[in-house]
Amino acid sequence: MEQTLSREGLLPNKNLGQNFCVDEGVLRRLATALPLNGRTVLEIGPGLGGLTEQLLLSGATVFAVEKDGRLFDFLQRDMQNERLTLIHGDCLKTEYGFLPPDFIAAGNLPYCITADIVTMLLTLQPAGMLLMVQREAADRFFAKPAQKNYGPVAMVSQLYYTPTLLAEVPPEGYLPPPTVTSALVKLEARPDAPQESTESLLKFAAACLRMRRKTLYNNLTGMPDLKGVLLDMGLAETIRGEALTPEQLLMLYRRLNAK
């Protein structure tokens, strides 16, 4: 891969947070963590195509969204496969109506916008996710109430998915090497996931945590019957949003939105 970068003059773009994974074993492990044969995969940021190649070898039909025009042109020329569709664009601004309901999301996510991409993917609600992220970002999928990294992503992802930490990836697995350790995370859709949209619950969770040091009651001021609902749920008025379990968040959402 280093030879490819040199030959093509594709220096990693720091502004786009590009760190290319050069460990084929790591990429293969991520691409085989879920059964993909015959499935549709949305890949975020294919870069030089290392993960793309492994996804195709797993039998998937891949839609890969690449923002960098240099890499898009390179992939168009270098990766010809009837099961691969390349899309030149910003993954956060792309319309995904072409994806089937049971699609899988995958990608080596740029550190600088990982949170935005994960929130976007949760809103799309794929059937599963295979992500390579900074270890600190991976920890958010497993965070517990009252922990510093516990927020809307942790609350909502745990309601809809079962997360698994597959492996850590040291800096030397990347080009250029980042200053942090990365991680491979698998998220499988829960069979008992709520029927409510993830987008609605993400917005509600964000409202509950709008000011972390304020009480849940103060953050949700104006919601009808709030005091009575908290009382019925056995929650004190002084409770903070960060203390809610994902299940309590869901119950509170349903109670406050009941017709």
Distance CA 229, CA 239 (A): 13
Residue in this structure with the two tokens 């786009």, named with its chain if needed: 16
If you count them, how many residues does the chain have? 259
pLDDT in tens, 84-110: 999 999 999 999 999 999 999 999 998
pLDDT in tens, 29-80: 999 999 999 999 999 999 999 999 999 999 999 999 999 998 999 999 989 8
pLDDT in tens, 155-178: 999 999 999 999 999 999 888 788
How confident is the model over 226-254, as a mean pLDDT?
94
Whether 185 has a pLDDT exceeding 80, the answer reads yes
Q: Give the best-scoring range by mean pLDDT among 143-157, 207-221, 226-240.
A: 143-157
Domains of the chain: 2-189 (3.40.50.150), 198-256 (1.10.8.100)
Helices (H), 100-172: 114-124, 135-139, 152-160
Percent share of the chain, pLDDT over 70: 93
Supply the pTM of this predicted model: 0.91
Residue 214, burial from CB neighbour count under 10 angstroms (0-12, 13-18, 19+): middle
The per-residue pLDDT for 178 is: 83
The per-residue pLDDT for 127 is: 98
Q: How confident is the model at residue 14 (pLDDT cuts 50, 70, 90)?
A: low
Long-range contacts (CB closer than 8 Å, 24 or more residues apart) made by 12-15? 12/175, 12/176, 13/68
The per-residue pLDDT for 5 is: 56
